[in-house]
Amino acid sequence: MHIIDIIAKKRDGMALSKDEISFLIENYTKGKIPDYQMSAFLMATYFQKMNDEEATFLALAMRDSGDSIDLSSIPGIKVDKHSTGGVGDKVTLILGPLLASLGVKFAKMSGRGLGHTGGTIDKLESIPGYQVELKVEDFIKQVNDIGIAIVGQSGDVAPADKKLYALRDVTATVDVIPLIASSIMSKKLASGADAIVLDVKVGHGAFMKTESEAIKLAELMVSIGRLSGKKMTAILTGMDEPLGHKIGNALEVYEAIETLHGKGPKDLVDVTVEIGAHLLLDAGIESDFENAKKRLHEALKNGKAYHKFLELVKAQGGDIKAIGNPDTLLSKHLIPVFANQDGFITDINALEIGKAAMRLGAGRETKEDEIYLDVGLDLLKKIGDPVTKGEPLAMLYVRDKGIKEATELILNAIQIGQKQRHLTLIKKTIK
């Protein structure tokens, strides 16, 4: 088998076999195929695409390039969720404890944020003492003991994907749906869960800007998971405005705690419960979707989910006192941003809001950047809300950088008009 033949085959629009894709990934990971030849293959794929079977072979080959987590020693069905990235998306912080409080095994490996999208691991690290790294045996023991563990991704999981993504990033081949789908699913398949729900974001603040793009990505990821023997569901959710009100690491932990006390914003609760209901069914805890949603709402209101969150934080070394007093996690320097006219909020560009939080120090532009865990912003208005001139639109939690730029980004991102507008949050379910 020769790499030049594989490049030519894909260039001419032919489907590759499992053996050809395995050869490609294995030899590229080992350094036997140079970047210039893999770049040629990626560009051929950009123009000729891949079918579902090829994308599945690619996901499996990248999964097999490193360690896979064996969760078979945890009884029952293990569940996971993945979001394609958005602004203010703190669903995992709520969903995990919520499901675990109802008897579902939630074994989650999460990533860090990059650019305008926040990472679950950065958010958890804003809790003093929380350990995001666990040995695999300790990870499994914790899930067996309390039903939940949320840790950082191991450096040995899907190394081919890391190497391939770095090359895609510099060869203008990131925006290829089969490559995006196989990249995401290689890590999900390596993480060992039996049932996965994918939250595919669509809108201003998402990587998928149009619903048609998001549907293609969701359908392909569901297909890859099913062909690999997993229970799969994808939901399309709107990201034309941030999810919830708070953006920034500790601020999102604060809002997650509010939600676990039964006081969360409606959009955040709706997305969390929608995902959770699918996973309750997949785990065999419930057989009716509407009943599953009711049980999840009850667990938020009666404190079961909050107490499970405390168990999680304690098990991973976090400071329980900080959870009881989440104000202590936030910057004490607050600056309001005021509306300059009367009307209704007609648009909030989530991407620009995410950039504003990043300018304050809440996000990183490169993987090496340090972040401020205690800064960010609280959006006081959502699309459809009335507003009067001089009323605060947002509150900035700041340190010593980006205040002027963040203020300008927020004022440009929030549009005020005379007609009230309402959004559809949960757009489609794909099974």
Please identify which of the residues 123, 168, 230, 308 carries the catalytic annotation: 168
Query: Does 63 qualify as catalytic in the annotation?
Result: no
Separation of alpha carbons 281 and 431, rounded Å: 13
Residue 128 has pLDDT above 80, yes or no: yes
Query: Does 116 qualify as catalytic in the annotation?
Result: no
Residue 118 has pLDDT above 70, yes or no: no
Instruction: Tell me which H or E stretch contains 387.
Output: strand 386-387
Q: With 0-12 CB in 10 A as exposed, 13-18 as middle and 19+ as buried, what is 347?
A: middle
Quick one: which of 398, 402, 381, 397 has its CA closest to 339?
Answer: 381
Q: With 0-12 CB in 10 A as exposed, 13-18 as middle and 19+ as buried, what is 47?
A: exposed
370-382 confidence digits (pLDDT tens): 889 999 999 999 9
Which tops the pLDDT comparison, 122 or 58?
58
At 113, the pLDDT band (50, 70, 90 cuts) reads: low
User: The pTM is what?
Assistant: 0.93
Please identify which of the residues 89, 122, 161, 374 carries the catalytic annotation: 161
Q: Please report the pLDDT score of residue 86 as a whole number.
A: 86
Query: Does 212 qualify as catalytic in the annotation?
Result: no
20-36 confidence digits (pLDDT tens): 999 999 999 999 999 99
DSSP 171-235: TT-S--HHHHHHHHHHHHHHTT-SEEEEEEEESTTSSB-SHHHHHHHHHHHHHHHHHTT-EEEEE
Separation of alpha carbons 353 and 86, rounded Å: 11
Quick one: which of 275, 365, 24 has its CA closest to 164?
Answer: 24
Residue 117 has pLDDT above 80, yes or no: no
> What is the widest separation between alpha-carbon atoms in the chain?
69
Please identify which of the residues 63, 187, 188, 230 carries the catalytic annotation: 187
Please identify which of the residues 10, 63, 78, 82 carries the catalytic annotation: 82
Backbone angles phi, psi at 366, to 5 degrees: -125, 160
Q: Please report the pLDDT score of residue 114 as a whole number.
A: 56
Average pLDDT of the residues in 389-417: 97
Query: Does 161 qualify as catalytic in the annotation?
Result: yes
Q: Which domains does the chain show, CATH number per domain?
A: 3-48 (1.20.970.10), 78-324 (3.40.1030.10), 330-417 (3.90.1170.30)
Separation of alpha carbons 1 and 422, rounded Å: 56
At 99, the pLDDT band (50, 70, 90 cuts) reads: very high
Average pLDDT of the residues in 71-91: 94
Which residues of 245-348 form beta strands (DSSP E)? Answer: 246-247, 333-338, 343-348
Residues of the chain with pLDDT > 90, as a percent, come to 88
131-151 confidence digits (pLDDT tens): 999 999 999 999 999 999 999
Please identify which of the residues 110, 154, 183, 186 carries the catalytic annotation: 183
Query: Does 72 qualify as catalytic in the annotation?
Result: no
189-247 confidence digits (pLDDT tens): 999 999 999 999 999 888 888 999 999 999 999 999 999 999 999 999 999 999 999 99
Q: Please, how many CA atoms are within 13 Å of residue 176, restricted to the half-sphere of its CB?
A: 24
Q: Are 142 and 328 in contact (CB under 8 A)?
A: no
Q: Are 150 and 48 in contact (CB under 8 A)?
A: no
Residue-averaged pLDDT of the chain:
94
Q: How many CB atoms lie within 10 A of CB 386?
A: 12
> Crossing angle for the helix pair 52-63 and 177-190, nearest 10 degrees?
40
48-74 confidence digits (pLDDT tens): 999 999 999 999 999 999 999 999 999
